[in-house]
Amino acid sequence: MRLDLDHVGVAVRDLDAGFARYDRLGFRLTARSLHAGATVVGGPVQPWGSGNHCAMFREGYLEVIGLTDATLPSSVKSLVARYEGLHIVAMGCDNADEAHAELTAAGAPVEGVRALERDASYGPRDEQTRRARFRNLYVDRDAFPEARLLFIEHQTRDVLWQPHLLEHPNGATRIETLWLVAQDASATALRIATLVRREATPGEKGIEIRLDRGTIAVMSPQQWRSWTREDELPPLPAPAGASIGVVDLRRTEAFLASAGVACRRIADAAGRESVFVPPREACGAALVFTQS
């Protein structure tokens, strides 16, 4: 089964503020889109109380998601009640039904397929509206409390990956790595690797689970703080940061500095440098910009 790191999601308490913050970071964000979906497996599509803005990349995307109507169903309520920051880790699959069959046969704790839809602005000037459709498999949160893990099948890729949305002032081109931080990094990495049916391999930046495109890596709090020189972490275990590949790291660093964003260079054991944006600048999510 092919799996990609499709997208990561930052849950925010104030979606307007979240838009402003990520716009300042140099992401070209989509117009607001409101979710609708099935609340149970096999149920009808109905309005949800959440909406999003997305930064679409050539490979994957970053979602800023927030509550838009507290009277309607939404998982965002419980996410932001715990903390504001990275929560959603979505792995792309070609066919949700086939993925469900393969995962359940292996004993993975996943729900059945649920439909998700939302209207999305379409065209260089948002002159049209088209329906984006997805089929999702959600992983049981009790079994995997580390993140809102899901498998996603895109049915309308052309609606999301529009050419004019793929150019960003900060030079972003792709989602590369999602970092989970857990007290027992080895045990957490093994559980995630078993779920996605991949190997867990020690690397320079944590224990890595390499997907067909993109990587999920797991670090201990000590490893994370030693590498990033950042003390702030969400309640653990949790996603702490995401790596975003850019066209030119120096230009990205210069853009962030010109926007007044606090950032700094960090380096791994091999001396490879990245530009680190601390959680306070990105609604609780640490961002690591790397040279693509």
Residues 211-247: pLDDT tens digits?
999 999 999 999 999 999 999 999 999 999 999 999 9
pLDDT at 95: 98
Say yes or no: 176 and 71 in one domain: no
* CA dist., res. 164 & res. 233, Å (int): 34
Q: Which of 182, 40, 195, 190 is nearest to 109 (CA)?
A: 195
Residues with Cβ within 8 Å of residue 128, at least 6 apart in sequence:
121, 122
Say yes or no: 31 and 161 in one domain: yes
Rg, C-alpha atoms of the chain? 18
User: Is residue 268 a contact partner of residue 187, using CB atoms and an 8 Å limit?
Assistant: no
Which pLDDT band, with edges at 50, 70 and 90, does 36 fall under?
A: very high
Residue 172's DSSP bridge partners are 246
Tokens of 272: 């490879």
pLDDT at 13: 97
pLDDT at 80: 97
Which pLDDT band, with edges at 50, 70 and 90, does 34 fall under?
A: very high
Summary mean pLDDT of the chain: 97
Say yes or no: 18 and 50 in one domain: yes
Which pLDDT band, with edges at 50, 70 and 90, does 32 fall under?
A: very high
CATH number at residue 86: 3.10.180.10
Say yes or no: 150 and 74 in one domain: yes
Which of 146, 165, 184 finishes a domain?
165
* CA dist., res. 247 & res. 46, Å (int): 40
pLDDT over 70 percentage in the chain: 100
- Other C-beta atoms closer than 10 Å to the C-beta of 211 total 18
Say yes or no: 138 and 247 in one domain: no
Which pLDDT band, with edges at 50, 70 and 90, does 26 fall under?
A: very high
- Other C-beta atoms closer than 10 Å to the C-beta of 54 total 23
Question: At 138, is the secondary structure helix, strand, or coil?
Answer: strand
pLDDT surpassing 90 at residue 136: yes
Say yes or no: 82 and 59 in one domain: yes
Say yes or no: 20 and 143 in one domain: yes
Say yes or no: 155 and 17 in one domain: yes
Q: How many CA atoms lie within 13 A of 233 on its CB side?
A: 23
Which pLDDT band, with edges at 50, 70 and 90, does 161 fall under?
A: very high
Structural domain boundaries, residue 260: 172-291
User: Is residue 229 a contact partner of residue 241, using CB atoms and an 8 Å limit?
Assistant: no
* CA dist., res. 18 & res. 260, Å (int): 17
Q: How many domains does the chain have?
A: 2
Residues 247-259: pLDDT tens digits?
999 999 999 999 9
**Residue 73 DSSP one-character state:** -
pLDDT surpassing 90 at residue 143: yes
pLDDT surpassing 90 at residue 280: yes
pLDDT at 233: 98
Tokens of 39: 């609340």
